Amino acid sequence: MRRDTSQRRAILGAFEKAARPLSPQEVLQSAQCHVPAIGMATVYRNIKRLIEEAVLEAVQLPGEPPRYELAGKHHHHHFHCRVCGRLYEVDGCLAAFRKLTPKGFKLEGHDLLLFGQCARCIPRKRPAK
Amino acid sequence: MRRDTSQRRAILGAFEKAARPLSPQEVLQSAQCHVPAIGMATVYRNIKRLIEEAVLEAVQLPGEPPRYELAGKHHHHHFHCRVCGRLYEVDGCLAAFRKLTPKGFKLEGHDLLLFGQCARCIPRKRPAK
DNA sequence: ATGCTAATGATAACGCGTTTTCATTTTCGA
DNA sequence: TCGAAAATGAAAACGCGTTATCATTAGCAT
């Protein structure tokens, strides 16, 4: 039987207020504001469980460990800030991918990642805190 | 001083005749056709060296270990077959990514990965050998 | 052909993100 | 309020791709 703990609430709360995919590290930092003693194992345990419950889903990106975001969003992509590492949600998509597909291949989906500098990192010369 | 070995030739040859990005495992298998006793350590050592020499470059993809391809190609993307795991080069690109970029962000590049089934996997119901 | 030394193969070790272990704490139904 | 069982924290262990170790082999200048 599932039990409602302060840790679980803090972890889910991190995703609800972030509005962007979070790494386990980011989740830990956010959750520690509410439950200072929370540990990394609990973060991983809860992320794993929330994925099984289809509350969260993984966001895979090239050459980096996965982030996680609330499940059930409409089709979207992400912008990766190379300065601070944050991942941002990007709405909209291009319909023209199909014409890039080689002949005889069956296109089932696509991953698009934009990268550069986010608004909070451009004015500064150091990663935003 | 660099020495020309049969292993090195077999590894570089794997990339030259593949015309698509290869995983270290794929390189090993290809190289073993010419040098049966070649080991994985040699594959990794040579890939690392060829990258330093700018002969190869890494291809990062979401949730998978990197592949490697000959460096110096023009801008392109890849198609990932979900059946056999092969990665294929895809020519062409879409210029409209910039309009997806959030306001105030600086777009410096993008990664696009198409996925589905490749031509040699569609007719069969098993991964192509 | 000879000798120096880079390169190799086998294997152990590494890195790092993630999972497991286990003693302890906490939730929650009765 | 009690007690069973889920959840937690700390730390060890894991998985797997990759790199280092080291004795041996082999390329190449002489």
Tell me, yes or no, whether B66 and B89 share the same domain. Answer: no
User: Which helix (H) or strand (E) covers residue A64, if one does?
Assistant: strand A64-70
Domain identity same for A2 and A57: yes
Are residues B83 and B68 part of one domain? no
Q: A59-116, pLDDT tens digit by residue?
A: 999 999 999 999 999 999 999 999 999 999 999 898 888 999 999 999 999 999 999 9
Q: Are strands A106-117 and A77-81 parallel, antiparallel or unpaired?
A: parallel
pLDDT of the residue at B126: 56
What lies within 8 Å, CB to CB, of A73 at 6+ separation is A89
Q: Do A42 and A61 reside in the same domain of the chain?
A: yes
Co-location of A95 and A129 in the same domain: yes
Looking at the structure, tell me whether residues A12 and A54 fall in a common domain: yes
| Segment A8-24 mean pLDDT | 97
Q: Residue B125: what pLDDT?
A: 59
> Which pLDDT tens digit goes with each residue over B112-128?
999 999 999 997 655 66
Q: Which helix (H) or strand (E) holds A13?
A: helix A6-18
Contact B116 A94 (CB under 8 A): no
Around Cβ A1, how many Cβ atoms within 10 Å? 2
Regarding whether A31 and A14 lie in a shared domain, the answer is yes
Distance of C1' in D12 from CA in A10, Å: 26
**How far apart (Å, rounded) are the C-alpha atoms in residues A22 and B70?**
34
From B47, B72, B97, the end of a domain falls on B72
Same domain, A56 and A94: no
Residue A126's pLDDT band (boundaries 50, 70, 90)?
low
Residue where one domain finishes, among candidates B26, B49, B72: B72
Q: Looking at residue A24, what is its pLDDT?
A: 98
- Per-residue confidence (pLDDT) for residue B95, from 0 to 100: 81
Give the pLDDT confidence score for residue A94 in this predicted structure.
87
| A1 vs A37: which has the higher pLDDT | A37
pLDDT of residue B80: 97
Share of chain A above pLDDT 70, in %: 95
CATH code where residue B82 lies = 3.30.1490.190
Q: Answer yes or no: do A68 and A55 share one domain.
A: yes
Q: What confidence score (pLDDT) does residue B56 get? A: 98
Please tell me the predicted confidence (pLDDT) of residue A40.
98
- Domain of residue A93: give its range: 74-129
Those of residues 12-51 in B touching chain A at CB distance below 8 A are: none
Task: Mark whether A35 and A15 lie in a shared domain.
Answer: yes
Kindly write down the DSSP assignment for every residue of B7-53, as one continuous string: HHHHHHHHHHHH-S-B-HHHHHHHHHTT-TT--HHHHHHHHHHHHHT
- What does the pLDDT look like over B60-84, one tens digit per residue? 999 999 999 999 999 999 999 999 9
Residue A50 has pLDDT above 90, yes or no: yes
| A36-53: average pLDDT | 97
- In chain B, the number of structural domains is 2
Spatial distance between the Cα atoms of B13 and B82, rounded to a whole number of angstroms: 26
- Mutate which: B97, B106, B120, vs A, most A CBs within 10 A: B106
Per residue in B98-114, pLDDT (tens digit) is: 999 999 999 999 999 99
The minimal CB distance from B117 to the residues A106, A113, A118 is found for A106
- Cβ pair A88:B105 closer than 8 A: yes
| pLDDT (tens digit per residue) in B1-55 | 789 999 999 999 999 999 999 999 999 999 999 999 999 999 999 999 999 999 9
Domain match, A78 and A129 both: yes
* CATH number of the domain that residue B58 is part of: 1.10.10.10
Q: How far apart are CA A33 and CA A128, in angstroms?
A: 19
Residue B58's nearest CA partner among B41, B78, B39 is B78
Q: Determine the pLDDT at residue B88.
A: 97
Q: What is the average pLDDT value for chain A, to the nearest integer?
A: 94
Tell me if B63 and A63 make a contact (CB, 8 A cut-off).
Answer: no
* Euclidean distance between CA atoms B42 and B36, whole angstroms: 12
Together in a domain, A7 and A66:
yes
In chain B, which among 60-119 make CB contacts under 8 A with chain A? Answer: 60-63, 66, 77, 79, 81-82, 88, 90-94, 96-97, 99-119
pTM of the model: 0.92
Strands B106-117, B77-81: parallel, antiparallel or unpaired by DSSP?
parallel
The distance (Å) linking the CA of B4 with the C1' of D29 is 14
SS3 B30: helix
| Closest CA-bearing residue to C1' of D11 | A41
Query: Distance (Å, rounded) from C-alpha B48 to C-alpha B43?
Result: 9
- Measured from Cα to the C1' atom, the residue closest to C8 is B42
Domain end residue (candidates: B38, B57, B72): B72
